[in-house]
Structure 1
Amino acid sequence: MKSSPLTRAIRLATLAAVAAPASVFAGGFSLNEQSASAMGVANAGAVANPENATTVLFNPAGMSQLKGTNISFGAAVLDIKAEAKSASATNTLGGPVNGGTGGDIADPAFLPNFYLTHEINDSIDVGFGFHAPYGLAADYDDDFAGRYFADKTELTVISFSPAISVNNGKGLSMGLGLNIMYAEGKLTKFQDYSGIYGRWQQGYAQIESGLQGTGMTPADLGLAAPSAFEEGYADIEGNDIAVNFRVGFLYELSDRTQFGLTAQTGTEFELKGDAEISGLPQTADYNLGAFGTQTLPTGAQAAASEAVRVPLAIPESITVGARHQLNDTVTLLAGASYSRWSRFEELDIISREGGTGAVSSVTGNEVITHITEKWKNTWQFNVGSIWQVTPEWALKAGYAWDESPVDNYLTARIPSSDRHWLTLGGQWKSIDNGWTVDAAVGTLLFTDDPKVDEYSYLHAAPDQKDPNAGASNYKGEYELSAWSASLQVSKAF
């Protein structure tokens, strides 16, 4: 195929299909709902409060305070309502994109978990857990006005987390954990061919004008009249395995007070899969006589597929917490977490075929397309309390302020903002056999209605809009709310 402005336009529109905004995996895509016992206090002081086997996740050093063999298992349900109050978009040529607000984009998510610890001797404990540390799911209606920027967004991460702890018998424990994580991701969007169609109309009109007075028409030259393309569709799916580490410390200051600290290393998934494009415009070389040979669309459309990879950064984090037993019935908890989301600066879709595949036309293993992210580092602060009403029953309450890492580059994939997390919980423990049941509910209150103003940006200059995207833009204002519920069963043997 000869290189021409129209050919390059087709190429750019094709690559835009895999330019899913990086917030697909998103606005802190960490999941708080890992344990009903900790959720009851909004995870406050979880690194300093090893109630049961879930300490494998929160602070492996806490296993040193559990006797014998312990199991905890349960599940959480998370339901986020995210719906645009207003939505408008323009295509590459600046024309309006017809469509609606996309409906409620988030379906309820089910998050199971299982944890086990075992005391080897007085100094060493081991354990493991299965849980879902990260995830995201969003799906717009097909007639969404911003469908050229986002349609479906899915991320599922499952982790197997073995751990070991040691203690010195004098109130100090240290733990080490490993997270072996499997991730699957999916991004889809509709494709905007308005620029290609516009160039075809313009070229056809110029040739038609040049033939006036000759008695000829473009059809005599074998050139088909422009016909509107159907919308194309892009589907990217990939998966990978990644590993990171967690180290934890727990110090017992007194019988009533102790402090905990955990630090987790960062890592990166390389989600490998395929970019599949449907409705791809086909071109042909037309011999137009005096007008020369030109490459123009034929009106036909086809599908294409190419092997790609998508790097996805997981941030480093550090968490501190404290537990203080105020009296025989009331325990106070507090904590704070800091996550280095700023390492997630961009989302790149990279050809695994050296740029020779059916979708890309770049040479070598280079970036096919780029989305600027520039997330910021975030804090989460938690406070909570436990009231031991009777030997069998306890009531819990907690509050957390959770900061969103999405800052200047808010997208349709994940319209996020800072939020308040309010939780209530209850615990029943059998005095006879030690079986314990925890239940918790929580609600998320978002501080702002996120406003999206989305463009495409250059890879070489991430703060500059991509001129090849023309006037393509999406604007929307969202209303967000969420609730969650969790149930957990624990037992010490």
Structure 2
Amino acid sequence: MRNNNTLSRAILASVLCGPGAVMAGGFSLNEQSASAMGVANAGTAANPENATTVFFNPAGMSQLSGTNVSFGAAVLDIDAEVKDGKASATNNVGAPVSGGDGGDIADPAVLPNIFVTHEVNDTVDVGIGLHAPYGLKADYDDDFVGRYFADKTELTAIALSPSIAVNNGEGFSMGIGVNIIYAKGRLTKFQDYSNFGLPQEGYFDTEGDDIGATVSFGLLYELTDRTQIGLSGQTGTTLNLEGDATLTNFPQVTSSGVNLVTAKEDANVPLEIPESLTFGIRHRLTDTVTLLAGATWAKWSRFEALDVESGEDGGTISAVGGPKYGDDDLIGHVSENWNDTWQVNVGAIWQATPAWAFKAGYAYDESPVNENYRTARIPSNDRQWLTLGTQWNDAPSGWTVDVAAGVLLFDDVDVNEREYTVDDEPVGNAASYSGTYELSAWSAGVQVSKAF
């Protein structure tokens, strides 16, 4: 029995701590406002058009009079699929894995938002927003050749953002807010038992949720009657998505033979939210043309690894996963080693008539993913964003409607995935996955704003 238990643990180690279960938390969602989308988010830290400034720069509330409400939604549709014949994988013993290319892994997503601001007095403004700052959803076909590395990946994050701003009445204001974030995630993958000569596959499923908070802040200064600059930022945090990990169809070796069982363990997945800083400038070139520019830096390098941590002492899964990866508290580990990123953007607004304005914007957005550790769950690359928008404003009634659309441009992305220890050293199995992805995306949004 002692020898059989040892063999059972060896099988479990090769399965659950093999090419790993990955949850992504690295994509910030740009689609927070159709009014900002029209200029590819250029200069948003210095251009408080409506109540969405609660998100972009809380100091901007000081330039809104009375009470302002802004609500809307964006649609984001990403097409991500492996190019025909460009996917291959090997199992734990180095034999080719049969299967398909995985299909289109991303479905369209709808991202709603609502923001409200209120002028308390000549010096103080308050506001609140409800929005989706982060998110990801990907799902491969069940016969995907890389199914031992990735199947479903889901992340939903919703933030409630109360904020306050003060101004000195001479063109300078500052604001601060709290982003209370609820995040829920799930990841799954199929399990490979080939190194033990077993024909069946297992299935690994981890899910959890958490509530955390970051602090946002901003400064806004009018240099002249035509030019103003803004600086906004957000602190970082770690959300610990607590839930459970389940492995079905696990072969447990006993003295009487092999039994297929389900192994469960409390689990925790740390989700890194990065610090960020955004600079923006707005310049009214003429009475009808406004130029915008900005840049955002995000500290994604805080996401060094995806760790699935045990929530139990002496758990069945972590008892074998920990020693393999060099940390006894780990169920699984995937090296990520993400990079800090920059997004730069420029835009323009043409006020064609008192009621109608037209917008255009361009942004270059770096991906945080380290190409040496790119995975099937996040086949990401740098991207370019081209947008157009229009705004209708009825000044007497206080109603404003923005409509915008944009396209995201990517180069093809190569994924060459392996398994690594906590020290970024290759582990001792032959499992691998390689694929070349075609990525494209478009987004569209509408924003309705009302000033009272």
What is the deviation of 1:359?
6.3
Matched with 1:114 is: 114
> What's the counterpart of residue 81 of structure 1?
79
- Amino acid of the residue matched to residue 418 of structure 2? Y
User: 1:11 maps to what in 2?
Assistant: 12
Name which of 327, 338, 348 aligns with 1:375: 338
* 2:285 aligned partner: 326
What does 1:114-263 align with in structure 2 at a 5 Å threshold?
114-197=114-197, 228-263=198-233
Could you tell me whether the CA contact under 8 Å between 2:252 and 2:261 is conserved in 1?
A: yes
- Residue identity matched to 1:13: S
Give, in angstroms, the shift of residue 3 of structure 1. Answer: 5.1
Correspondence list, 1:351-366, <5 A:
351-357=310-316, 360-361=319-320, 366=329
Letter in structure 1 aligned against 2:227: T
* 1:309-348 paired onto structure 2 within 5 Å: 309-348=268-307
C-alpha separation between the residues in 2 aligned to 1:8 and 1:300? Answer: 14
User: 1:291 aligns to what?
Assistant: none
Q: Tell me if structure 2 keeps the 8 A contact 1:386–1:397.
A: yes
- What is the Cα deviation at residue 193 of structure 1? 0.5
Preserved contact between residue 305 and residue 359 of structure 1 (Cα < 8 Å): no
- Unmatched 5+ stretches in structure 1: 198-227, 287-297
| Cα contact 2:21–2:332 (8 A) shared by 1 | no
**Superposed CA offset, 1:208-266 (max 9, x none):** xxxxxxxxxxxxxxxxxxxx442100111100011000110000111111000012110
Partner of 1:272: 242
Q: How many residues align?
A: 444
TM-score computed with the length of structure 1 as normaliser? 0.88
State the match for 1:214 in structure 2.
none
| Bigger mean CA offset, 430-439 vs 174-183 | 430-439
Q: C-alpha displacement at 1:49, in angstroms?
A: 0.2
The whole-number CA distance in structure 2 between the counterparts of 1:240 and 1:431 is 43
Q: What secondary structure, in the 3-state scheme, does the structure 1 residue paired with 2:69 have? A: strand
Q: Distance in 2 between matches of 1:196 and 1:240?
A: 37
CA contact (8 A) 2:18 2:419 kept: no
The residue number in structure 2 matching 1:68 is: 66
Give the structure with higher Rg (CA).
1
1:360 Cα deviation after fit: 4.2
Q: Could you tell me the percent identity over the aligned residues?
A: 62
Could you tell me which residue of structure 1 aligns to residue 379 of structure 2? 415
Give the residue type in structure 1 aligned to 2:66: G
The 5 Å alignment of 1:475-490 reads 475-490=434-449
C-alpha contact (below 8 Å) 1:151/1:189 kept by paired residues? yes
Residue 45 (str. 1) matches residue 43 (str. 2): yes
Question: How far apart in 2 are the matches of 1:323 and 1:359?
Answer: 53
Query: How far off is 1:89 after superposition?
Result: 0.3
Following the alignment from structure 1 to structure 2, what is the Cα–Cα distance between the partners of residues 325 and 12? 62
Of the three residues 457, 463, 469, the one matched with 2:420 is: 457
Secondary structure of the structure 2 residue equivalent to 1:133? coil
> Structure 2: any 5+ residue segments left out of the alignment?
none
CA distance in 1, matches of 2:176, 2:45: 13
| CA distance in 1: counterparts of 2:314 and 2:287, whole angstroms | 67
* Match in the other structure for 1:466: 427
After TM superposition, give the deviation of residue 18 of structure 1 in Å: 8.8
1:428 corresponds to: 392
Local SS of the residue matching 1:25: coil
Cα offset for 1:111? 0.2
* Aligned equivalent of 1:95: 95
Deviation of the 1:389 alpha carbon: 0.5
Deviation at 1:391, TM superposition (A): 0.5
Per-residue Cα deviation, 1:122-157 (whole angstroms, up to 9, x for no partner): 000000000000000000000000000000000000
Distance 1:239 1:365 in 2: 23
- 1:356 maps to amino acid: G
Counterpart in 2 of 1:385? 348
